[in-house]
Structure 1
Amino acid sequence: MSISIKGDKEIDNTYSIRNKVLKINLNENIYGAFAEIGAGQETVRNFFRVRDASSTVAKTLSAYDKDFSDAIYGPEPQGRYVTEARLKRMLVYETDLMEERITRDKHPDKLFFTYANTVTTIDFAKKYKGHGWLGIRFQTHPKEAYSEIILHVQFHETNAALQQITLGTMGVNLIYGAYYQHDKPKKLLKYLFDHLHKDQIEIDTINFTGPVFEQVDNRLMSLELVKNGMTDAVMFSPEGQNILPANALYKKNILTLRGSFRPVTRVNMSMFEKSLELFLNERKVDKDKTKVIFEITLSNLKAEGEIDEIDFMDRAKLLCALGQTVMISNFQEYYKVVEYFSQFTSERMGLTMGVNTFMDIFDEKYYRHLSGGILEAFGKLFFKSLKVYLYPLKDPETGAITTSENLKVHPRMQKLFKYFKDNGRVIDITDYDPEILDISSREVFQMISEGKSGWEDMLPAETTSMIKENNMFQKSLK
């Protein structure tokens, strides 16, 4: 049988789970181990139900007992087993064991893989819906170094047995995708939901590594997750790696800045620096337990109805170079951002915004879909002790400065605004540089796109250097 593992000309999502498994089983070169902890052996079960499983399944293991699991993979320092670190340890251990036991001399054409998952399904009281990590370490050529796909999922079904079946289906999709769709990572990502619905399971982080994925930027994969509705928000680190929001935000104080950052300007960085100073001076806010998030919504990424990936990557690289953690979300309203964060922490939260944006949140038209209207939205927005740090606005014609002391909201909203203002929930940023208030991201972007000069001093020095060295934003203007 040919060693070829190229994808079919047909659309792969027409394949049933059974047919996907059969195709893998009938390829005499694909051979690997299964290690599944926490929800039974749902993935490998699909392989046993189809003929020729013996040609694919080298070993299957469910080290369900913690002591037994520790004896194989080693103890977890934090005592937590549903973690990315645990999954990686499983993948490496089982792959090394297979390489040790199956000689290449005897099996020169074998393409080894290890599939693993470590999950927890919904608890008896149905308080926690369950989540988990799954991944595959695999080869597409016998002498090739291993590549990996690792993802985190959140279960949405309210029945443990259904969650197990869902996990098994996604596991098959992952193994099939690794071998037959690895050259099309965006399609691979989409096809992970073959024969599944997004109401059943959510993927909130994924990372592709290894020689097969050398050209893959995981920040673009993050973007795909949100674009395809696989999750509401994703995060990536300054290093460009997708990170699990639950881990990054767990029990943290969170300060968030929303913007287009196209590009990030001195005003953006001033807003960040000055609001962070105020935030860290708040009671019970520990610097070591504080996370700053630069958030970009999908609506801020769209140009003429479509998302320009080159434009997105320009923004992402500039923010990462400044050492920032970035979140991409489909949240248009600010209260949804706060609701999202409140899943992971009950600590202090802060939102940094300009006067124009702040005035927009008092517009009732954004809350007509809520039964409680703007009052319901504000009840969610000002979660516990959340505060808004307000950056002033300068009128380009008169030079007048607008702050919370003199801004105008709709007459119906005045009492609501006064309530939050008088209770210290809206804080003016007063220590600002008046000379940079005229800087506009839109004007800077226009100047860069048109090849004009004079914008350089409007941005952080490192940002200006990166834009010039890499010719950023040159292709964004149509």
Structure 2
Amino acid sequence: MSLEILDTRRKALTLNLDEQVYGTFAEIGAGQEVARNFFTAGAASGTVAKTMSAYDMTFSNEIYGIEESGRYVSRSRLLKMLDYEYQLLEERLNSEKYKNRTFFAFANTVTTINYNKTNDPHGWLGIKFQLEPKGEENLIIFHVRLLDTDVSLQQNVLGVLGVNLVYAAFYLNHNPRQMVESLTDNLSKGSVEIDLIRVSGKVFEGLDDISVNLFLIQKGFSPAAFFEPDGIARQAKDHMYKKHIMILRTRFKQKNLPDLGLFEHAVQQYKEKKAIENDALITVVELTLNNLMSRAQEEDNDFLNNIAGRTREILAMGYPVIITNFNRHHKLAKYLSMAKPLSVGITTSINNLKYIFHSENYTSGYTDELLAYISDLFSRNVKLLAYPYQDPKTKEIITSKTMPVSDEAKHLYDFLIQNGYIIDVEDVSFPE
């Protein structure tokens, strides 16, 4: 049975009428849309201790400090805002009047679409909160990409997201999956993408970044989630920005862990052919779920736990992992293009190439679909590195150059081989 989704005004009013919840709203970059929702809902004095918006950079720096990176729409800036505002609440509201209050500090730092529509609208939102008077701090932060092409629509989205976050923090924290799902309540599909979320504090004890970010992929809020070897969720764009990238594609359904020795062999070949220095190359293992997340229904925790377990196994090998729902190479390449990589190498198998370049694997319109696929993939400075295959019966070694392809695809395939878009991984040994 699905739960009732409260509209934005009702959520804000519920919080305003809660005699315990009390806090601060600090918003930079897109108006004070979250605070506005609480004021227009009525009874805002019950919840709002202070609202502010330090738009001018000099004012902002005086309050929250200078960002050495120069990036003010960042996780670092958000955390400084939350820490400052929460500490101020505890320092100033410590009299008898507030002894039964549970404090929170909400903050966001956002850039909306510019006049010429040439930027990437995105932002960070977060809340630091306690669940009992003088209780321990808990934290929820997340990053969003704003997909509407109108400033007023993006501002409205931010206002709704903020109300959803505050409501979820206080009333849905006992159910992390429901808490995450509720963040887009009352928003139309395609208006926002939530591509990273992090939680901490006693109320979220035992919930790690891998588990909570899997909820985002399951609900379609994000196509991918990126994790460092320590299991911490990061933005893939920041980690890979203007680097050479080498990706090992693996599937969740495959029985064995990936052969990282063979992958490192391919990495070394790629570095030598392109004369890449070690610190300029990022190696990543992709765990593609290939649309399996539709199986992970509300009650299917085992499936999500299995995915999280496989992710931890790969992370323990020392590699960053990106979990995706991409079934084809060109979708992965499109996602990686946001990081403006210098080049991308994707390892693949001969069997995968055979599937792409054999028309019988498609129902109709093969040539049109193949052209679109190839154009979308190789226009993004991508190379496919193909592992050779040994026929178990004949012991014949099949490479990209000897692999049979459909007649319709042969000229295009030969062009890709001759111009180095598809490269064999060389000097691979096979058992006698």
TM-score range, shorter chain: over 0.9
Summarize deviations over 1:78-105 as a string: whole Å, max 9, x none: 2110000000010001111111111165
User: Which of 116, 139, 144 is 1:153 aligned to?
Assistant: 144
Indicate the residue corresponding to 1:40 in structure 2.
Answer: 31
Judging changes above 3 Å, is the alpha-carbon distance between structure 1 residues 370 and 341 closer, same or farther for their aligned structure 2 residues?
farther
TM alignment of 1:142-181, pairs within 5 A:
142-181=133-172
Q: Verify the 8 A CA contact 2:285 2:319 in the aligned structure 1.
A: yes
**Which one of the candidate residues 401, 407, 426 is aligned to 2:403?**
407
Report the alpha carbon displacement of residue 330 of structure 1 after superposing the two structures with TM: 2.2
Q: Write out per-residue CA displacement over residues 16-43 of structure 1, whole angstroms, 9 at most, x where no aligned residue.
A: 2111111111111111111100001000
**Aligned mates of 2:429, 2:95 — CA distance in 1:** 66
> Is 1:11 matched with 2:3?
yes
Distance apart, 1:370 and its partner CA: 9.1
Give 1:97's aligned residue: 88
Aligned counterpart for 2:318 among listed residues 314, 323, 328:
323
Q: Tell me how far apart the structure 2 counterparts of residues 201 and 397 of structure 1 sit (CA, whole Å).
A: 52
Question: Does the residue aligned with 1:162 lie in a helix, a strand or coil?
Answer: helix
Residue ranges of structure 1 left out of the alignment (5+ in a row): 1-8, 438-478
Match of 2:383 in 1: 387
Q: Which shifted more, 208-217 or 393-402?
A: 393-402
Is 2:361 the counterpart of 1:362? Answer: no
Is the alpha carbon distance of 1:176 and 1:82 closer, same or farther for their aligned partners in structure 2, counting shifts above 3 Å? same
TM-score of the superposition, structure 2-length normalised? 0.92
One-letter amino acid matched to 2:428: Y
Among 96, 106, 115, the alignment partner of 2:106 is 115
Aligned to 2:329: 334
The answer to whether the 8 Å contact 2:391/2:397 transfers is: yes
Distance 1:300 1:358, change over 3 A: farther
- Determine if contact 2:333/2:380 at 8 Å carries over to the other structure: no
Give the 3-state SS of the residue equivalent to 1:281 in structure 2: helix
Against the structure 1 CA distance between its residues 305 and 175, is the aligned structure 2 distance closer, same or farther, given a 3 Å change threshold? closer
Q: In structure 1, how many angstroms separate the alpha carbons of the residues matched to 2:212 and 2:171?
A: 18
Once residues 330 and 44 of structure 1 are traced to their aligned partners in structure 2, the CA distance between those partners, rounded to angstroms, is: 36
One-letter amino acid matched to 2:109: T
Aligned to 2:393: 397
Residue 333 of structure 1 contacts residue 366 of structure 1 at CA under 8 Å; is this kept in 2? Answer: no
Per-residue CA shift, 1:35-56, capped at 9, x if unaligned? 1000010000111112221121
1:274 lines up with 2:230 in the alignment:
no
Are the equivalent residues in 2 in contact too, given 1:256–1:350 (CA < 8 A)? yes
2:386 corresponds to which letter in structure 1?
Answer: L
CA RMSD of aligned residues (A): 2.4
Paired residue type of 2:346: L
For residues 28-427 of structure 1, the aligned pairs below 5 Å read 28-103=19-94, 105-260=96-251, 265=256, 268-283=259-274, 285-299=276-290, 301=292, 308-364=303-359, 365=361, 372-427=368-423
Deviates further, 324-333 or 155-164? 324-333
1:165-214 residue CA offsets vs partner (Å, 9 max, x unmatched): 11000100000000000011111111111110121111111111111111
Cα pair distance change 1:10/1:56, threshold 3 Å: farther
Contact 1:234 1:242 in 2 (8 A): yes
Q: Which amino acid aligns with 1:149?
A: I
Q: Alpha carbons of 1:137 and 1:74: their partners in 2 closer, same or farther (altered >3 Å)?
A: same
Please tell me whether the aligned partners of residues 156 and 202 of structure 1 are also in contact (alpha carbons under 8 angstroms).
yes
CA 420–151 in structure 1, closer or farther in 2 if over 3 Å, else same:
same
Q: Tell me the residue number matched to 1:460.
A: none
Contact 1:137/1:149, CA 8 A, preserved across alignment: yes
Q: Which moved more, 1:420-429 or 1:397-406?
A: 397-406
- Which residue in 2 is equivalent to 1:476? none
Deviation at 1:132, TM superposition (A): 0.3
Query: Could you tell me how far apart the structure 1 residues matched to 2:202 and 2:427 are?
Result: 49
- Displacement of 1:71: 0.5
Matches within 5 A, 1:431-470: 431-435=427-431
The equivalent of 1:429 in structure 2 is 425
- SS in structure 2 opposite 1:434? coil
How far did residue 279 of structure 1 move?
Answer: 1.9
Match of 2:194, SS? strand
Conserved? CA contact 2:296–2:304, under 8 Å: no
Amino acid at match of 1:115: F
Count, aligned residues:
427
- Per-residue deviation, 1:265: 5.0
1:334 Cα deviation after fit: 0.9
d(CA) in 1 for partners of 2:332, 2:2:
40
Change (3 A) 1:300 1:268: farther
What whole-Å deviation, never above 9, does each CA across 1:418-448 have from its counterpart, x for those lacking one? 111111222222233424x9xxxxxxxxxxx
**Distance change >3 Å, CA 175–CA 318, structure 1 → 2:** same
- Report how far residue 227 of structure 1 moved: 1.8
Cα offset, 1:366, TM superposition: 5.5
What letter matches 2:405 in structure 1? V
Secondary structure of the 1:381 match is: helix
Residue identity (%)? 38
Deviates more, 1:181-190 or 1:378-387: 378-387
Residues 63/220 of structure 1: CA separation in 2 closer, same or farther (3 Å cut): same
Kept after mapping to 1: 8 A contact 2:367/2:408: no
